[in-house]
Structure 1
Amino acid sequence: MVGPTLLRLRRTFTHALFAGDAQAAERAVSEAMDSGLTAAEIDIELITPALIMIGDKWATGEISVADEHLASEIALRVLALQRERRRGERLRRGRRVLLLAPQGERHVIGLNMASDLLLEAGYDTRLLGADVPLADIGLAAARNHADVVAFTATMPDSAERLDAAIDYLRAVRPETEVVLGGSAVSFELAATWNAAVCPDVSSVVATVDALVHHAPLN
């Protein structure tokens, strides 16, 4: 039985196809995925009925060939979006990210936001918070089997401690990837440790994805 959420999304998606609005179509499919609908449910109950209606309108001359082609291209685009998102979710599953601010760093609002975004994206996150003693960082990464450690540094004097923190980490768990964020992070420091720089909180998932997807599986 088709539920009210799926019916609403079907109407939204169908309207987006007729309007030639690819972004609205993508939002509808994304919402469907967020609602827990399977790929089969989205394909069969949401996308297919909309395409059938497009085909019927084209056959009766109510829309043009160009309109039909645009709708088809949008459908192909959302199918690719769906595949890529599910692929990303599979790759994130079981991957653990440790988030912390090294000793002396107490500004962790951005770190908490980053943890929420990574958790929502499907990563297993462990938030250690502020002022983590340098000598404990490597041990914490090893004990938690961290694939990625995300550091934040915002205070002017944090750079030296951040350098020492990564040194402790790499001494104990050299295979762990490193992400750096915060106003005190320099690209020179990141290059020294072959770490990724996250320019802002909103890009943390993409930054971690790039590390995890290209790193050899443990």
Structure 2
Amino acid sequence: MHKHPEKIAEFLLAGDEQGTITYITDYLEANKQLSLYEDFLTPAMYIIGKRWEKNEISVADEHLATATCDFVISMMENHNNDASNPLHTKVMLFAVEEEEHYIGLKMAANVFKENGWEVRYLGPNLPLEHAIAAVNTWQPNVIGLSAALSYRLPKLTETVQRLSLVDNKPFIVLGGRMADKFPIPNELATQVFSMNNLHALQNWLNVMEKGGRFIDARSG
């Protein structure tokens, strides 16, 4: 079995964009975006994150790896997307205020795009008041939130509570390393839920369109 994540982590830490793309292309089947994210890039970035936490690499190393990963995602994005959007579904994605990690969020945005959704990706560190204003203006069906670090949990809690009160009552999907640690209040159990990987997100999207209706996947 190939040790893909370890090898990809080496390429990313070296800032080797072309080496990363060449290696992935040698092993990745055509148009397997979920495999690209889940089998190669996400576990490689987790390895890099662990090394940073252990002070084995510097902040500069981590930033270089992230920038390289971002470039690879953009270069390997599937631009031949013919998916229709008969339900006119819209999703807005961003990381909570002060959260700078965004790679997983960008991958999720691409998954939504591949499923034909209209996407607004607002990136990392979006101040809450600006997020609420954007949601009220555009009125997405789904809001995708990301928080990677434990000390972002208070801000994630505040963000979820405030966004749950906007007029159009969007579904709120939580991702990132803190998603599974977020205690969803009982009163929000039909509006807020977590995704621990992109396969779960894809499965949810499949169910959301079940029967040609926009529904809560958890009831399906």
TM-score by length of 1: 0.52
Please say which of residues 197-206 and 120-129 is displaced more in the overlay. 197-206
| Partner residue in 2 for 1:21 | none
Q: How many residues align?
A: 130
| Partner residue in 1 for 2:198 | 201
Point out the structure with max Rg over C-alpha. Answer: 1
Residues 1:189 and 2:180 aligned together: no
Q: Secondary structure at 1:175's aligned position in 2?
A: coil
CA distance in 2, matches of 1:134, 1:159: 14
Please say if residues 159 and 185 of structure 1, whose CA atoms lie closer than 8 Å, have aligned partners that are also in contact. no
Please say if residues 147 and 177 of structure 1, whose CA atoms lie closer than 8 Å, have aligned partners that are also in contact. yes
Please say which of residues 178-187 and 157-166 is displaced more in the overlay. 178-187
Please say which of residues 162-171 and 103-112 is displaced more in the overlay. 162-171
Residues 1:176 and 2:139 aligned together: no
How far off is 1:107 after superposition? 0.2
Please say if residues 134 and 165 of structure 1, whose CA atoms lie closer than 8 Å, have aligned partners that are also in contact. yes
Please say if residues 154 and 183 of structure 1, whose CA atoms lie closer than 8 Å, have aligned partners that are also in contact. yes
How far off is 1:98 after superposition? 0.3
How far off is 1:136 after superposition? 1.8
- Once the two structures are superposed, the pairs formed by residues 108-123 of structure 1 within 5 Å of their partners are 108-123=102-117
Instruction: Return 5+ residue gaps in structure 2 as ranges.
Output: 1-30, 32-81
| Equivalent position amino acid for 1:129 in 2 | G
Please say which of residues 111-120 and 162-171 is displaced more in the overlay. 162-171
CA distance in 1, matches of 2:172, 2:100: 19
Residues 1:135 and 2:129 aligned together: yes
Deviations 1:47-81 (A, max 9, x none): xxxxxxxxxxxxxxxxxxxxxxxxxxxxxxxxxxx
CA distance in 2, matches of 1:196, 1:167: 13
CA distance in 1, matches of 2:206, 2:161: 23
CA distance in 2, matches of 1:206, 1:133: 30
Counterparts in 2 of 1:186 and 1:119: CA distance versus 1, 3 Å: same
- Cα RMSD (Å): 2.7
Percent identity, aligned pairs only, is 21
| Partner residue in 2 for 1:214 | 215
Q: Secondary structure at 2:203's aligned position in 1?
A: helix
How far off is 1:208 after superposition? 4.2
CA distance in 1, matches of 2:184, 2:205: 14
Which of 166, 183, 187 is the matching residue for 2:160? 166
How far off is 1:167 after superposition? 1.9
How far off is 1:117 after superposition? 1.2
Q: Secondary structure at 1:154's aligned position in 2?
A: coil
The structure carrying a bigger helix percent of its residues is 1
